[in-house]
Structure 1
């Protein structure tokens, strides 16, 4: 968590660099342990949290609704461009989306709400 009295709002996040205003914000993607994360995580915690640095350095916060990863449209998957969530390629037929513009390269996704 950010030290007492230093909670601020990040108005612009660029990997490990933030321009601060009033309350802290998540930085995505962020490195934690041996992984690169594009969304809030739940490691040894009751609630999902995120790093406030591009590489986790002990500064974190619990995620609020605004912090969770958002779909990126349009995105490229296989040989098609998608402008909305799709069930293509999902073994269970669930709708999903990419978290980057190029799923083929980055392989970062989430299920749609």
Structure 2
């Protein structure tokens, strides 16, 4: 059970206390977001734009949700193509966010169990993956 952390000293989840985000619209207007929440098998610790144009969050374990007040929509991730990996030749676009070994990723990453030297991403719900078609900054200080 998660309690809302109030000014009167109620105990609650500290991460929730710091980030009491109210919602508007959806199925839970004026309710507080509940973090973390799971949607389509992925766990979110912040508002997300997955399947909607505006940032939204879950407000309870029953599937109620609302648009996050005061959140500016994040820019959508660039469409990144792939090659190799689970595919011969050119592959489909990366799917962001994706989950690998119980961690959610929002960008291409080096995942040592797939390839310890190259950026990869997941391309579908079944876990297919590919090498990201992107340039990596190899200069000092670049990521």
TM range (shorter): 0.3 to 0.5
TM-score, normalising length: structure 1? 0.36
TM-score, normalising length: structure 2? 0.30
Structure number with greater Rg is 2
Larger relative contact order, structure 1 or 2 (CA cutoff 8 Å, min sep 6)? 1
